[in-house]
């Protein structure tokens, strides 16, 4: 693209996250690597159970305890490895320099506290503010995320707001301390399409105004196409393909990415035509193979050693990486 | 509308729920979930029904299948009026109209085997011997692409997509003519969603089924439907053939809804109409144009008071003709 790429803010290297369960240790994220650049949006797309939310929880160090553990890998944020920083230090980063927007605006807010108070909580946690100043800033945040009559809304409770308004409040809380990175986990999935358009536009505008980086997790390729600069496609705990958004949509190289892109109904498609499908279903975590995990669904013959040996993520052009299974990633 | 050959038609159908309040829990207001809907579904046709949460699309589906007692208006199945029938009189029609629900995790009884779940409609309607019913269950499982061995297992042993297939098998058991599909693929992953949509389209071709396909996903509805009805606050604001409604939307709400769909193509530059505000509550909505508060353009007081007529503006293209939201071309 000619222009100089901005510096990397967050780099995840070979992250492995596992959960202890009754059925033994299950690896939900298995060697995932990607980077988020300053001021840019990285999209992570994949189906349920592919490990996209667990990746986010690992970065935030919000894994359910004591079952969830980061077994290996690094999460480098501004030069520090978040996977190993003491919990105390992590608390001063979380909500302050990295914050999160959750999917369910109904459950992400505390139903018994006023909205203003919930924003004040994050502000006073990280800044030395008087209660009056914090309240003033909370009202300003509500105004910034487009909530009408913010002074009045700040004194209300979450149940008095609609779903779209609640998601705006969640965004206000996430952005209150001016974070450098915002991780948005399915921020619009629970919302109607007209409200989704409002919220995506809001996130885009705020990103432009505040210069923050965004990591957007979603299953919706339409949302990815519209908001992201770069995309990681995850399948069964691994990144199978990573590229600039235009490159990925124009030139998908992995069979899974190709399958995903061709199985969504398109507005300009032939009505009532047979849709492309991906056979079978996402494998359970307990039955994952070390080699190519998409092999059983790819409909293509795999040699036995491809199922046993892990295939590395290989760079095939500038900013385009693909898991180099010779069968699934052939041209 | 001409409903001479329609498999199903509704005439000014209303479903109001009382909102109770005060010390004596008296009805203080009405939630007008479905408020005057007239539509038809032809044999072998898929009618898509789109709209946002709270617009009344699920209530309309449940009212048509008579899971609710309609407040007023008519529901005719092949010319037979259903709205006023008693439970017993309804029973033969129950076989003809079946439902598929959104949540495959909640719509199947977890304590019954899949065989028992699919067999239940035959038991209720006292059909066949035990051996015959077992054979029918096996046939139905094959039809929806599940192995015969599934009959002996429990719903929790299946994935979301497979459970939705079980729900479809149960709905098909009595060879219905009309299926009401309420968000049948919304809870499924993309790769599984297309499998289930293909199955529904195959079954329609094979069995000549008619579908009322309710969804908030406009790309899915566009793909599967012959005609599409757009619902807003209890009313149909626009109804047209699928291609026509996407290429030529007339009502301001339809335009906004279509333009809000994220297109999976990064080179596409959306020409987006961003709507202000949320869907208002259907409790005591205005009598006139209901989209007025969100349309951002001036409505005269009489437009808010008198119901705009539902007009056919070109062949098969109907629109609620509010002069502001749907100006004549």
> Is there a contact between B130 and B138 (Cβ–Cβ < 8 Å)?
no
CB contact A4 to B (< 8 Å)? no
CA A124 to the chain's CA centroid: 27
The pLDDT score that the predictor gives to residue B2 is 47
> Is there a contact between A249 and A261 (Cβ–Cβ < 8 Å)?
yes
Length of chain B: 329
pLDDT tens string B127-160: 999 999 999 999 999 999 999 999 999 999 888 8
Rounded to the nearest angstrom, the minimum Cα separation between A95 and chain B is: 28
Domain region containing B88:
8-96+176-252
**Residue B155 gets which letter from DSSP?**
G
Residues of chain B found within 8 Å of residue A271, distances taken between Cβ atoms:
222-226, 242-243
Rounded to the nearest angstrom, the minimum Cα separation between B319 and chain A is: 20
Residue of A nearest to B190 (CA): A264
Collapsed DSSP state (helix, strand, coil) of residue B206: helix
At which residue do the structure tokens 């619902």 appear? B231
The pLDDT score that the predictor gives to residue B281 is 82
Task: For chain A, positions 214-273, list CB contacts with chain B under 8 A.
Answer: 219-226, 245-246, 249-250, 259-261, 263-267, 269, 271-273
Whether the pLDDT of residue B261 is over 80: the answer is yes
Give the closest residue to B214 by CA, choosing from B224, B203, B204, B199. B224
Nearest to B219 among A48, A226, A267 (CB): A267
Contact B264/A192, CB-based, under 8 Å? no
The pLDDT score that the predictor gives to residue A3 is 62
Cα–Cα distance for residue pair A54/A41, rounded to 1 Å: 19
Which strand (E) or helix (H) includes residue B32?
strand B26-41
Give the closest residue to B118 by CA, choosing from B97, B138, B145. B138
A258 φψ region: left (φ > 0), alpha (ψ -120 to 50), beta (else): alpha
Which of A53, A216, A275 to substitute to test the interface with B, most B CBs within 10 Å?
Answer: A275
Whether B198 is covered by a domain: the verdict is yes
> Is there a contact between A235 and A262 (Cβ–Cβ < 8 Å)?
no
Residue of B nearest to A272 (CA): B224
The pLDDT score that the predictor gives to residue A252 is 96
Nearest to A47 among B53, B191, B279 (CB): B191
Whether the pLDDT of residue B198 is over 60: the answer is yes
Nearest to B223 among A48, A219, A265 (CB): A265
Contact A246/B266, CB-based, under 8 Å? yes
Torsion (CA) B156, B161, B164, B169 in degrees, nearest 10? -100
What is the average pLDDT value for chain B, to the nearest integer? Answer: 91
Whether B49 is covered by a domain: the verdict is yes
Contact A197/B274, CB-based, under 8 Å? yes
Whether the pLDDT of residue B1 is over 50: the answer is no
Burial of A31: CB neighbours in 10 Å, binned 0-12, 13-18, 19+? middle
Whether the pLDDT of residue A167 is over 70: the answer is yes
Query: How many structural domains compose chain B?
Result: 1
Residue A286 tokens, joined:
């307990």
Whether the pLDDT of residue B294 is over 90: the answer is no
Domains, in order of start, for chain A: 8-235 (3.40.50.300), 261-266+276-331 (no CATH)
**Higher-scoring residue by pLDDT: A217, A107:** A217
Whether B70 is covered by a domain: the verdict is yes
CATH at B201: 3.40.50.300
Whether B277 is covered by a domain: the verdict is no
Contact B278/A281, CB-based, under 8 Å? no
CB contact A50 to B (< 8 Å)? no
Collapsed DSSP state (helix, strand, coil) of residue B25: coil
The pLDDT of B76-105, averaged and rounded, is 90
The model's confidence at residue A75, banded by pLDDT at 50, 70 and 90, is very high
Rounded to the nearest angstrom, the minimum Cα separation between B177 and chain A is: 19
Rounded to the nearest angstrom, the minimum Cα separation between A286 and chain B is: 15
The model's confidence at residue B282, banded by pLDDT at 50, 70 and 90, is confident
Which of A148, A234, A264 to substitute to test the interface with B, most B CBs within 10 Å?
Answer: A264
CB contact A149 to B (< 8 Å)? no
Residues of chain A found within 8 Å of residue B210, distances taken between Cβ atoms:
none
Cα–Cα distance for residue pair B136/B116, rounded to 1 Å: 12
Residue B251 tokens, joined:
């009502």
Cα–Cα distance for residue pair B142/B135, rounded to 1 Å: 11
Rounded to the nearest angstrom, the minimum Cα separation between B12 and chain A is: 27
The pLDDT of A193-221, averaged and rounded, is 91
Contact B191/A223, CB-based, under 8 Å? no
The pLDDT of B179-198, averaged and rounded, is 91
Cα–Cα distance for residue pair B62/B99, rounded to 1 Å: 8
Contact A259/B195, CB-based, under 8 Å? no
The pLDDT of B258-270, averaged and rounded, is 89
The model's confidence at residue B321, banded by pLDDT at 50, 70 and 90, is very high
The pLDDT score that the predictor gives to residue B4 is 56
Whether B64 is covered by a domain: the verdict is yes
Collapsed DSSP state (helix, strand, coil) of residue B80: strand
Residues of chain A found within 8 Å of residue B279, distances taken between Cβ atoms:
192
The pLDDT score that the predictor gives to residue A6 is 83
The pLDDT score that the predictor gives to residue A170 is 94
Residue of B nearest to A261 (CA): B264
Q: By 3-state DSSP, what share of chain B in percent is helix, strand and coil, each rounded to 5?
A: 35, 25, 40
The pLDDT of B187-216, averaged and rounded, is 93
Residues of chain B found within 8 Å of residue A233, distances taken between Cβ atoms:
none
Burial of A78: CB neighbours in 10 Å, binned 0-12, 13-18, 19+? middle
Contact B191/A224, CB-based, under 8 Å? no
Contact B52/A48, CB-based, under 8 Å? no
The pLDDT score that the predictor gives to residue A1 is 47
The pLDDT of A77-102, averaged and rounded, is 93
Residue of B nearest to A50 (CA): B189
B22 φψ region: left (φ > 0), alpha (ψ -120 to 50), beta (else): left
The pLDDT score that the predictor gives to residue B3 is 46
Q: What is the CA radius of gyration of chain A?
A: 21
In degrees rounded to 5, what are phi and psi of residue B11? Answer: -125, 105
The pLDDT score that the predictor gives to residue A331 is 58
Residue of B nearest to A197 (CA): B260
Nearest to A221 among B162, B224, B264 (CB): B264
The pLDDT score that the predictor gives to residue B284 is 79
The model's confidence at residue B100, banded by pLDDT at 50, 70 and 90, is very high
Q: Which residues contact A316 (CB under 8 A, 6 or more apart)?
A: A253, A322
Cα–Cα distance for residue pair A55/B162, rounded to 1 Å: 27
Contact A192/B216, CB-based, under 8 Å? yes
> Is there a contact between B6 and B41 (Cβ–Cβ < 8 Å)?
yes
Residues of chain A found within 8 Å of residue B223, distances taken between Cβ atoms:
265-266, 269, 271-273, 275
Rounded to the nearest angstrom, the minimum Cα separation between A284 and chain B is: 10
SS3 letters across chain A: CCCCCCCEEEEEEEEEEEEEECCEEEEEEEEEEEEEECCCEEEEECCCCCCHHHHHHHHHCCCCCCCEEEEEEEEEECCEECCCCCHHHHHHHECCCEEEECCCCCCCCCCCCCHHHHHHHHHHHHCCCCHHHHHHHHHHHHHHCCCCCHHHHCCCCHHHCCHHHHHHHHHHHHHCCCCCEEEEECCCCCCCHHHHHHHHHHHHHHHHHHCCEEEEEECCHHHHHHHCCEEEEEECCEEEEEEEHHHHHHCCCCHHHHHHHHHCCCCCCCCCCCCCCCCCCCCCHHHCCCCCCCHHHHCCCCCHHHHHCCCCEEEEECCEEEECCCCCCCC
Count of helices and strands (H, E) across chain B: 11, 12
Cα–Cα distance for residue pair A37/A41, rounded to 1 Å: 8
Whether the pLDDT of residue B287 is over 90: the answer is no
What is the average pLDDT value for chain A, to the nearest integer? Answer: 92
Nearest to A275 among B53, B194, B257 (CB): B194
Contact A200/B161, CB-based, under 8 Å? no
Query: DSSP H helical segments within B173-291, as ranges?
Result: 190-207, 218-224, 242-247, 252-259
The model's confidence at residue B276, banded by pLDDT at 50, 70 and 90, is confident
At which residue do the structure tokens 């010390």 appear? B23
Cα–Cα distance for residue pair A253/A330, rounded to 1 Å: 7
Respond yes or no on whether the N-terminal peptide bond of residue A66 is cis (omega within 30° of 0). yes
Residue of A nearest to B270 (CA): A226
Whether B75 is covered by a domain: the verdict is yes
The pLDDT score that the predictor gives to residue B77 is 94
Residue B164 tokens, joined:
């939705």
Nearest to A219 among B190, B265, B267 (CB): B190
Whether the pLDDT of residue B108 is over 50: the answer is yes
Residues of chain B found within 8 Å of residue A281, distances taken between Cβ atoms:
159, 161-162, 191-192
The pLDDT of A266-281, averaged and rounded, is 88
DSSP B248-270: S--SHHHHHHHHTSPPS-TT---
Whether B129 is covered by a domain: the verdict is no
In degrees rounded to 5, what are phi and psi of residue A223? Answer: -65, -40
Q: Which residues contact B142 (CB under 8 A, 6 or more apart)?
A: B148
Whether the pLDDT of residue B249 is over 50: the answer is yes
The model's confidence at residue A189, banded by pLDDT at 50, 70 and 90, is confident
Whether B225 is covered by a domain: the verdict is yes
Contact A271/B260, CB-based, under 8 Å? no
The pLDDT of A175-197, averaged and rounded, is 90
């Amino acid at each position: 693209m000619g222009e100089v790429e901005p510096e990397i803010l967050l780099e995840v290297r070979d992250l492995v996250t596992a959960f202890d369960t009754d059925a033994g240790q299950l690896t939900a994220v298995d060697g995932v690597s990607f980077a988020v650049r300053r001021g840019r949006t990285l999209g992570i797309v994949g189906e349920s159970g592919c490990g996209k939310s667990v990746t986010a929880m690992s970065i935030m160090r919000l894994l359910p305890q004591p079952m969830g553990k980061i077994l290996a890998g690094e999460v480098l944020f501004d030069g520090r490895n978040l996977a190993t920083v003491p919990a105390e230090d992590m608390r001063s980063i979380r909500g302050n320099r990295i914050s999160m927007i959750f999917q369910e605006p109904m459950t992400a807010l505390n139903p018994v506290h006023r909205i203003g108070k919930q924003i004040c909580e994050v502000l006073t946690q990280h800044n030395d503010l008087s209660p009056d100043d914090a309240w003033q800033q909370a009202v300003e945040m509500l105004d910034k995320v487009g909530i009408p009559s913010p002074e009045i809304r700040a004194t209300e409770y979450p149940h008095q707001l609609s779903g779209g308004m609640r998601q705006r409040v969640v965004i206000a809380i996430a952005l209150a301390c001016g974070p450098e990175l915002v991780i948005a986990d399915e921020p619009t999935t629970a919302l109607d399409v007209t409200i989704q358009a409002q919220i995506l536009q809001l996130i885009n505008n705020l990103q432009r105004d505040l210069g923050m980086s965004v990591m957007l997790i979603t299953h919706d390729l339409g949302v990815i196409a519209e908001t992201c600069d770069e995309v990681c496609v995850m399948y069964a705990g691994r990144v199978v393909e990573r590229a600039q958004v235009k490159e990925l949509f124009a030139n998908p190289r992995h069979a899974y990415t190709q399958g995903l892109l061709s199985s969504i109904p398109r507005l300009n498609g032939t009505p009532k035509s047979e849709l492309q499908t991906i056979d079978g279903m996402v494998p359970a975590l307990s039955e994952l193979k070390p080699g190519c995990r998409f092999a059983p669904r790819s409909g293509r013959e795999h040699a036995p050693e491809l199922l046993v040996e892990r295939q590395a993520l290989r760079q095939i052009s500038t900013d385009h990486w693909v898991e180099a299974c010779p069968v699934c990633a052939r041209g | 509308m001409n409903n001479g050959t329609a498999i199903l038609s509704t005439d000014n159908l209303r479903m109001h729920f009382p909102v109770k309040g005060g010390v004596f829990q008296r009805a203080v207001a009405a939630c007008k979930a479905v408020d005057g809907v007239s539509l038809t579904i032809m044999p072998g046709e898929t009618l898509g029904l789109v709209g946002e949460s709270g617009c009344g699309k699920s209530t309309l589906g449940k009212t048509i299948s008579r899971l609710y007692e309609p407040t007023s208006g008519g529901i005719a199945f092949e010319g037979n009026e259903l709205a006023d029938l008693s439970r017993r009189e309804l029973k033969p029609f129950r076989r003809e109209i079946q439902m598929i629900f959104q949540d495959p995790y909640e719509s199947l009884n977890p304590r019954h085997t899949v065989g028992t779940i699919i067999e239940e409609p035959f038991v209720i309607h006292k059909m066949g011997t035990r051996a015959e019913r077992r054979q029918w269950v096996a046939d139905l499982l094959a039809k929806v692409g599940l192995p015969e061995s599934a009959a002996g297992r429990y719903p929790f042993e299946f994935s979301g997509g497979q459970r939705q297939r079980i729900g479809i098998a149960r709905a098909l058991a009595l060879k219905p003519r009309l299926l009401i599909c309420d968000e049948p693929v919304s809870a499924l992953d993309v790769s599984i969603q297309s499998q289930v949509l293909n199955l529904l389209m195959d079954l329609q071709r094979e069995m000549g089924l008619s579908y009322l396909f309710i969804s908030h996903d406009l790309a899915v509805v566009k793909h599967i439907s012959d005609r599409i009805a757009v619902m807003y606050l209890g009313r149909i604001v626009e109804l047209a053939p699928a291609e026509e409604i996407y290429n030529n939307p007339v009502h301001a709400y339809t335009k906004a809804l279509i333009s809000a769909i994220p297109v999976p193509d990064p080179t596409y530059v959306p020409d987006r109409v961003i709507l202000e505000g949320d869907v208002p509550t259907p409790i005591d909505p205005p009598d006139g144009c209901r989209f007025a508060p969100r349309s951002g353009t001036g409505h005269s007081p009489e437009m808010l008071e008198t119901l705009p007529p539902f007009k056919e503006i070109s062949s098969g293209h109907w629109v609620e003709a509010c002069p502001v939201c749907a100006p004549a071309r």
